Amino acid sequence: MPDTETQLGELVPQAAAGDRTALNRVVGLVYPPVLRYVRARIGGGVTPTPEDVAQDICLAVATSLPTYVDRGRPFMAYVYGIAFNKVADAHRTLSRDRLHPTEEVPETVVEHDTPEEWALIADGRNRVRALLDSLNEKSRNILILRIFEGLSAEETAAIVGSTPGAVRVAQHRALASLRKKLGEEAQS
């Protein structure tokens, strides 16, 4: 992440000044972590898809760059701030939309991923998502940023507006809560 932040530190002012090549590189750097974050918060098989939401986030970042002001925080904190809002918008959309139609029927048969394999993968994702949903919003975001994104406590603190020590404590408590839930499930 520090290497990415270094690159962003050089590219963002150029992109904000109108350099389209720098803008393309900024979007290319922020898209993978944003997509991981969105997939952890939304999951697959829903409309809007995580890819759609990640694209909306990148578009919002790109269009807001000319007005971006460096406040001494990592640029990714700015990106994740936009991501938090876009994910919340997607959750509102998901709560209103009860239909999940298939956009296109595949023309070929895929033989390497059976329905059973997909069901097991989906079940694992759903279980992790249910466990994360049992936490409060701040704890869930801290775990996603620290574990799924691999950010340091300092980087996470800058994003969630806290201190590194408070992030570590919140992470410890959230993981202890998840361990307790898993232990209760195992005993049932």
> What's the pLDDT tens digit per position in 123-169?
666 777 788 888 998 999 999 899 888 889 998 998 888 999 999 99
Residue 112 has what pLDDT?
Answer: 64
Where does the pLDDT of residue 45 fall: very low under 50, low under 70, confident under 90, or very high at 90 and above? low
Average pLDDT over the chain, rounded to whole? 85
Residue 22 to residue 151: CA distance in whole angstroms? 24
Q: How far is CA 15 from CA 8, 68, 70, 73, 172, in A?
A: 10, 10, 13, 18, 38
The yes-or-no verdict on residue 1 having pLDDT over 60 is: no
- Whether the Cβ atoms of residue 14 and residue 22 lie closer than 8 Å to each other: yes
Residue 77 to residue 83: CA distance in whole angstroms? 10
- Whether the Cβ atoms of residue 31 and residue 54 lie closer than 8 Å to each other: yes
Task: Please state the rounded mean pLDDT for residues 23-41.
Answer: 93
Residue 144 to residue 82: CA distance in whole angstroms? 16
- Which pLDDT tens digit goes with each residue over 57-91? 999 999 999 999 888 888 999 999 999 999 888 87
**pTM of this structure:** 0.65
